[in-house]
């Protein structure tokens, strides 16, 4: 029998708030009070996150200047370099107990990439990997970034898929520490006449389905964070 995956649509929320939610749910998943693996889906207010691998050269502009432009700057425990999150970008935070799947970080990263590649294929975008670089690419441009943290084999952080963001935010940094990288979005690659809302919801649906297939989980949609009280570890 396929295990369930609880999918929670958080809407648009500040990064720090969702970070604390992830940490609380990880503890609940670890001690069993959170019964199922989860996928949190969210759109953030503008924020630059600095992973453990962030190089000074990846931040041409000091943090205080980035904040002056209206974005938060947060140092976090995930792997990888600096990236940006903000409106128009679908961010996914899987809270998975890998002991019930496979205790293998390399496998987890590659499976996460495959879920996004398959989800993009459902949108008629041919995407793939770039050898030696974590993330998902299409036509030589990067469309999704991945940065994770695993503690006691329960996952935190995850992926950021550019649906229709203002890509100029990436010009303020060296995204993921990759010099010369060109960022793109689903909107740019499709050149679609769909409304923003229609493209967003279609992307959310295809990515959720692909994620479930990749990790052998059955998505069970929870419409909003208000339905999370069934998880005692949620303190927000």
Per the DSSP assignment, residues forming a β-bridge with 39 are: 7, 94
* CA proximity to 219, closest of 49, 8, 51, 44: 8
Instruction: Confirm whether 176 is a catalytic residue.
Output: yes
Q: Out of 174, 176, 199, 207, which one is annotated catalytic?
A: 176
Contacts of 176 (CB under 8 A, 6+ apart): 80, 81, 82, 83, 133, 134, 135, 142, 145
Selection from 214, 224, 176, 233 nearest residue 59 by Cα:
176
What is the Cα–Cα distance from 76 to 59, expressed in whole angstroms?
Answer: 15
Q: How far is it, in rounded angstroms, from Cα 107 to Cα 225?
A: 29
The radius of gyration of the chain's CA atoms, rounded to the nearest angstrom, is 17
What CA–CA distance (Å, rounded) separates 41 from 154? 17
C-alpha to C-alpha distance for 223 and 85, rounded to whole angstroms: 22
Catalytic residues: 176
């Amino acid at each position: 029998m396929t295990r369930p995956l609880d999918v929670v649509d958080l809407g648009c929320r500040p990064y720090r708030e969702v970070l604390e939610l992830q940490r609380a749910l990880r503890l609940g998943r670890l001690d069993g009070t959170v019964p199922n693996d989860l996928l949190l889906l969210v759109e953030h207010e503008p924020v630059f996150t600095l992973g453990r691998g962030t190089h000074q050269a990846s931040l041409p502009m000091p943090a205080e200047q980035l904040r002056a432009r209206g974005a938060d700057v947060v140092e976090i425990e995930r792997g990888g370099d600096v990236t940006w999150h903000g409106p128009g970008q679908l961010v996914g935070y899987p809270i998975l107990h890998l002991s019930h799947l496979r205790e293998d970080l390399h496998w987890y990263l590659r499976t996460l990439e495959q879920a996004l590649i398959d989800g993009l294929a459902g949108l008629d975008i041919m995407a793939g990997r770039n050898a030696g670089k974590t993330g998902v690419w299409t036509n030589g441009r990067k469309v999704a970034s991945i940065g994770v943290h695993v503690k006691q084999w329960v996952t935190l952080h995850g992926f950021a898929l550019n649906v229709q963001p203002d890509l100029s935010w990436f010009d303020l940094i060296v995204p993921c520490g990759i010099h010369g990288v060109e960022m793109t979005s689903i909107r740019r690659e499709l050149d679609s006449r769909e409304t923003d809302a229609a493209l967003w919801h279609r992307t959310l649906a295809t990515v959720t389905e692909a994620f479930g297939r990749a990790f052998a989980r059955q998505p069970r949609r929870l419409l909003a964070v208000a339905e999370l009280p069934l998880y005692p570890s949620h303190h927000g």
